[in-house]
Amino acid sequence: MANLGYVGLGAMGGNMADILMAKGHTVTGYNRTASKADWLVRKGMTLAGSPKAVAQAADLIFVMVTNSAADEAVMYGPDGLLAAMGPGKVVIDMSTVSPAVSRKLAASVREKGGDMVDAPVSGSIITLQQGKLSVMVGGTKPTFDKVKPILDDLGPKVTHVGDNGLALVMKIATNLSLAVQMLAFSEGVLLAEKSGIARETAVDVLLHSVIASPMVVYRGPFVLKMPAEAWFNVNMMQKDMLLALELGRQVDVPLPTTAVTNEMLTTARAMGLVDEDFATIFKALAKMSGVKP
């Protein structure tokens, strides 16, 4: 059993910390809004007052924050992770951020004698709870071998994809397809509905057709009823789409469907849907089609 730290206890990070404790690991956690971690404290997690305090208490420190700026904020400064980083400590950064920023952070950790891997995941809270999460890891092979047994506790598929930053490339490549699939699914539903087929019937047929990928199966029903709390909101998805478009420019890969889908996310923002799950692009397209969402 390992002595773990967890910085960033939002919906996904908090559920991961919960699972790690259930597996018998000791977890010291930090969240910017401490009250959101109360439920984990009741389950046995130790709440720390800063990222630095987490690094002081733990050997392997998970990080899951919203973007590159937040990642740098928990790493640097007098109360950041780096202030307590040293030999033998490893940062497992599960945040979806710029690969360049991640590589910079990894270099800073190594300067302190520790090491870091980027380890973004493919899946949602439901996937995590079902034990079907997929983890991609970028970093040195010896460090990957060190952290893999812990990552195995979070999901059955843990893959070393290469050097630092490359797991984030893989994550970005994965996430762009989620939004593109959701838009294509929405187009199909609305085309059927406006032609006279009940929305519920169209959804049922599509979910039992050859286009029913795992993402479509668990998010497709959102066009009938959106979840009360977003699994992955418009802001978060558009951040990943913009990372994809920037990476595409850097390596000269055209991303036409990504670009169009990104514009639909902007449309959703303009309609005031920014805090809803990104599946709300269905609502945006429905309004454009003259159909009641």
Contacts of 83 (CB under 8 A, 6+ apart): 52, 55, 77
Choose, from 52, 89, 146, 171, the residue flagged as catalytic. 171
Contacts of 99 (CB under 8 A, 6+ apart): 118, 165, 166, 168, 169, 172, 247
Taking the CA atoms of the chain, what radius of gyration do you get in angstroms?
A: 20
Residue 7: CA atoms inside 13 Å, Cβ hemisphere, count?
31
Q: Distance between CA atoms of 183 and 123, rounded to whole angstroms?
A: 18
H or E stretch including 147? helix 141-151
**Helix count (H) and strand count (E) of the chain?**
13, 9
> What is the CB neighbour count within 10 angstroms for residue 107?
11
Active site residue 171: yes
| DSSP conformation class of 159 | E
End-to-end Cα, the chain, rounded Å: 49
Q: Distance between CA atoms of 123 and 115, rounded to whole angstroms?
A: 25
Residue spans of beta strands (DSSP E) within the chain: 3-7, 26-30, 46-47, 60-63, 90-93, 115-118, 121-122, 134-138, 157-162
Burial 215-232 (b: 16+ CB within 10 A, else e): bbebbbbbbeebeeebbb
> Which positions are catalytic?
171
